[in-house]
Structure 1
Amino acid sequence: MSRPFHRPMQPGDAFFDHQESGVDPLALREAADRAATLIVRGARESEDDQVADRLLALARTEGLETLAELWAGASPESLAGCLWRLFALREWVYADPRGAADQFAAGRASAEFARVVAGVADPPGPDELREMVDQVLRGIAERDFADVLVRAAAFARVIATGRASLPVPHEDVVRMLSVAEQLERGAALERRGDLD
């Protein structure tokens, strides 16, 4: 049985006005990837001693919402995705330093190797954790990026271990463990020269 012909809907001028004023997702992704590459590769190649301070200023002044617009949707196996996880870890520690310290303290005995790699002062209080996450971001400019990712991954692994022993929702444990594993994969890719 054939259907009667219907004229296709015409979108009208307002439809195209709305489309043109929006942000092109592909252009945003390309800009985010370029920014991540400039931050990581440019920081290592720069001879400016204040690049590390500027990375911390970026975390303080831009806020997680702005960085999320750039990097939150990036693959965890990309420079942008790794940067997102580093900045998100820092933001979490700064938002809840006491909770972060308690979770780290709860996990350090069971994740001894990761605790040592994370390099948090003992005992791990809120100030020590804030200092460690700032050192991680500074490391983007001062150390090998793979080492930065390994240190952050170790920190996330201790936190996940601590969360598992505390009354924390299971999905929060899994989420932090996933961050640790993603950062570890990022570090392995960086060592092979495959992290873009």
Structure 2
Amino acid sequence: MSEFHRPVRRPSASFDNIAGSAGPAERSRVAHATAAALLARARADETGESTERLIAFTAEHGIDEIAELWSAAPAVSLPGALWRLYLIHLAIHTDPQTAALLYERGRVELATADTVVAGAPAPASPEELVDLIDQIMRGAFRGDFAIALDRAAAFCRVHASGATHVADDYEATESERASELTTRALRLSVYAKDLSTAADAWRAGILN
């Protein structure tokens, strides 16, 4: 689905267009610096208010400003991992009904521990999936960052499995819809691999 790769909405620049028109090296430096600063700020705030603002940001403003900073960062980097978390977060908040449908189909079809790792109820309602991704985001900003990435990766694998099987259901009657779901499944599978690798890098102290 397109919501997994394109920015949406264009509000006033909440990140003050930090990247501006700088060259690739400067944009990379800014991406890494802002990701580290945001994570450090959230962890230093014992009230949790900074984390709640960061979680609410995409719902209120879209992700254009974040995209300008982080979308070009390597997948296995701090800004790259945060970018993928924000994309997943936005996609679920934008269409929780479809997310719940695909997640439940994946839960039924996928014979792995991913549903346990992700931590969603079985079955999960749209509201419960929204709550799940918010919990994962809180874990990223306040808890064990690697565990949050592992949970997000597991969620992506379950969701991808569901999208793949539903695509198969649509293949004979709605080929365009089947193609969209297949694309979504492939993208989620890549995100799952990226997030798992980023989690390992964080544990090794080399994710920056």
TM-score of the two chains, using structure 1 as the length reference: 0.83
Structure 1 gaps of 5+ residues are 1-21
What is the aligned partner in structure 2 of residue 166 from structure 1?
A: 166
- 1:95-150 CA-partner distances (Å, limit 9, x unpaired): 11111101100101214410111111222111011111111111123211001100
What is the aligned partner in structure 1 of residue 21 from structure 2?
A: 23
Aligned AA for 2:165?
S
Aligned pairs for 1:119-138 within 5 A: 119-138=119-138
Task: Report whether the alignment pairs 1:182 with 2:180.
Answer: no
Distance 1:62 1:28, change over 3 A: farther
- In the TM superposition, what is the alpha-carbon distance from 1:62 to its structure 2 partner? 3.2
Q: Is the 8 A contact 1:189 1:195 kept in 2?
A: yes
Aligned pairs for 1:137-156 within 5 A: 137-156=137-156
- 1:7-59 CA-partner distances (Å, limit 9, x unpaired): xxxxxxxxxxxxxxx70133332222111011223323443432221221323
- In the TM superposition, what is the alpha-carbon distance from 1:90 to its structure 2 partner? 0.6
Aligned AA for 1:171?
T
Q: Is the 8 A contact 1:43 1:140 kept in 2?
A: no
- Distance (Å, rounded) in 2 between the aligned partners of 1:76 and 1:189: 11
How well do the aligned residues superpose, as a CA RMSD in angstroms? 1.6
What is the aligned partner in structure 2 of residue 68 from structure 1?
A: 67
- 1:70-94 CA-partner distances (Å, limit 9, x unpaired): 1111101100000000000011111
- Distance (Å, rounded) in 1 between the aligned partners of 2:70 and 2:149: 16
Identity of aligned residues (%): 35
- Distance (Å, rounded) in 2 between the aligned partners of 1:140 and 1:44: 9
Distance 1:124 1:188, change over 3 A: same
TM-score of the two chains, using structure 2 as the length reference: 0.79
- Distance (Å, rounded) in 2 between the aligned partners of 1:46 and 1:189: 25
What is the aligned partner in structure 2 of residue 194 from structure 1?
A: 206
- Distance (Å, rounded) in 2 between the aligned partners of 1:152 and 1:144: 13
